[in-house]
Amino acid sequence: MNILVVGANGQIGTHLVEKLKNTETYKPVAFVRKEEQVTKFEDKGIEARLGNLENSVSDLKKSMKDIDAIVFTAGSGGSTGTDKTMLIDLDGAVKVMEAAEDMNIKRFIMVSAFQADVRENWSEEMKPYFAAKHYADKFLMNSDLNYTIIRPGMLENKPAIGKIELTRALTEASDPMTIPREDVAQLILEALENDRTYLQSFDVTTADQEITEALKGL
């Protein structure tokens, strides 16, 4: 099963590509925007395809040949302005969805943002980012794609803990809720063909349930 990882050079994407590579079931295909990133992945024996989320839907479709599922974990990054946030996190994401539909690729996993579905909990300084994620998620939920939307808490570069909590009903964000990036990657891996995650969206943070057990509660 060929999995296109959009944002493969990012931190979650890098963890995910490695995890996919170490399975017998999945083959990762890294979608990246720079030639040196293509070389980096190819040197590890991982197929990489060059593309740009600011390009047309037609251009994006060229990177989706023989793909069975898509994971979108790209982002404009914290150092860019609102314009790039809208072009990458919103319009770029939507164009990937449109291209997936055109290519009849049904399975789509979106890495969104914690509480992106609850406007009242958006921090003032990051409102454009949350808005981009919110409306990209809305578009995905209204598409014909078999989606899973994962909204992780504050991302950390700590070693994997492997224990999480999923919730679809959180309405108030209080204490900072965190999760290692590697645990998000493991959750994506386990969600790919888990039918309990199909057409689902949820927040996820570190807690006390093994990932496999947490998914059984959906």
Query: Known catalytic residues?
Result: 129
Sequence-distant (≥ 6) Cβ neighbours of residue 1 within 8 angstroms: 25, 26, 27, 68, 69, 192, 193
Q: Please, are residues 67 and 2 in contact by the beta-carbon 8 Å criterion? A: yes
Length of the chain: 218
Bridge partners (DSSP) listed for residue 204: 152, 166
- Dihedral angle at the C-alpha atoms of 202, 207, 212, 218, nearest 10 degrees? -30
Question: Shortest CA distance to 169 belongs to which of 123, 117, 102?
Answer: 117
Q: HEC states along 61-92?
A: HHHHCCCCEEEECCCCCCCCCHHHHHHHHHHH
Number of Cβ atoms within 10 Å of the Cβ of 218: 15
